[in-house]
Structure 1
């Protein structure tokens, strides 16, 4: 928000916002595919075009730290050339400096301002400042009220921090910052769920959606591939989820195919087969999320 309470110009036409708003209205969800390399970016675009589905290419701060703006600009170009709506988002940006650097690089349509490893007051203070910084550059933002536990490649883990479930009151505080997407903690975790599997508080997700779901879009983190398939993903969509982060199955497929073929096939063949295998996984998730045919 600006000083007079209005939103900066350009946010209402933001591509990422338009893609996820349309999903919420249409009662489907967008696959936000976490990409660590060019192959994953290509696989995401090809899957989206094959399924005629909108999509998001997601990068972690690691991609900027590792390759400056190179992977980001490749993602932005791939999204711009795609024949279906695709936008570029940064997932779990946990450091104020990397958020500002990423926003200034150009190419991101959205950035997750994740200050959830701080206590509540500091989380809100930093989030407010960084949301404004991104919004002023035409970039929408995502925040995580509460704290989602677990560990994921590319982000600092929160295993040793207490889980903090998101309440409707907390959600309201973050909506007031001017965010567009909200990632609630309702029993979902990054990475493995352990022997009991997911123990999700759908009552809490429903309460958050009723409180703020008309003003922000709800994002699902922790959609582990062992559990979050057609039935459970459709259930989450029924509670208002409009964006689902897809990470583990894509990177595991890349590693598996490489392990099977490296040293047995030419490198170019290995890369092509890794990309094809990731594309199939992404397409399957688009079917489960009911976004196929929506572009």
Structure 2
């Protein structure tokens, strides 16, 4: 296989009414584990790099190039996506680096400004063949920057998609970012309304806090892209903590990071298989 355009994965999943997993890359070992899990399941995956992750690494290019190199060697289709970019220039940089898609998060802006900036990014990306995701209606979490309980209005969403020309829309339907327990309840009726109203695929952010049955319900109702980060980060971290507890004298970081990398593989494959199980 080779690096796959996000558009191909999204269109195939939307047509089959299944979910495509989009999992966040934190460092190289995460990318390796996510691809290994996708290969184990024999299913495609979207690797996401967030703006927060870019800030942690001090820039986009090094991690982006490494992630795309891992994707190119994969035995299954792998797309690379920029997640939650609030910086317009960062979105352009990801397009120029060869990402398959970018997500501009203008949910903190008022409607008119969100529309204007998202439209500029969409025009820039589409000329270069890059898929664009946007957000309307704040998803909960993020240290209070978003208000839990906010819901995306189907009429406003329809206007936003038409005005901006985006290819996919992240919607607020009851999930919340950075949840460490899987207890969120989704507004499945709203997902159905949004799916019927919009001609573009829907994206569920904050899926780490959503139980399996709720995710399956969301996919049945019309959700396509399922974003997960915190849940997988927890598995990675617990594996490191357990190894260090059992091996307090270890100093070679490859030993405990390698254990954590391996711990991510089965859950990655399980989630991808789950999202694909409605076909």
Count of aligned pairs between the two proteins = 269
Deviation at 1:200, TM superposition (A): 2.6
Contact 1:73 1:107 in 2 (8 A): no
Residues 20, 134 of structure 1: alpha-carbon distance in 2 compared, 3 angstrom cutoff: same
Equivalents in 1 of 2:148, 2:45: separation in Å? 32
Residue aligned with 1:144, SS? strand
Contact 2:184 2:211 in 1 (8 A): no
C-alpha distance after superposition, 1:224-279 (max 9, x if no partner): 34x422x2221111011111001112111111111222345443221221111011
The aligned residue for residue 237 of structure 1 is 219
Deviation at 1:188, TM superposition (A): 2.0
Equivalents in 2 of 1:264, 1:30: separation in Å? 41
TM-score (normalizing by structure 2): 0.88
Give ranges in structure 2 of 5+ residues lacking alignment: none
The aligned residue for residue 11 of structure 1 is none
Residue aligned with 1:224, SS? helix
Deviation at 1:116, TM superposition (A): 0.5
Match of 2:242 among 255, 260, 272: 260
Equivalents in 2 of 1:283, 1:30: separation in Å? 12
Deviation at 1:63, TM superposition (A): 3.7
The reply on whether 1:98 has 2:90 as its aligned counterpart is: yes
Equivalents in 2 of 1:143, 1:279: separation in Å? 29
Deviation at 1:199, TM superposition (A): 4.0
Match of 1:69 among 48, 61, 83: 61
The aligned residue for residue 271 of structure 2 is 285
Within-5 A mapping of 1:23-62? 23-62=13-52
Contact 2:186 2:218 in 1 (8 A): no
Deviation at 1:194, TM superposition (A): 8.8
Deviation at 1:193, TM superposition (A): 8.8
**RMSD between aligned alpha carbons?**
2.3
Equivalents in 1 of 2:80, 2:90: separation in Å? 16
Residues 164, 258 of structure 1: alpha-carbon distance in 2 compared, 3 angstrom cutoff: same
The reply on whether 1:148 has 2:139 as its aligned counterpart is: yes
The aligned residue for residue 88 of structure 1 is 80
Contact 1:31 1:55 in 2 (8 A): yes
Residue aligned with 2:171, SS? coil
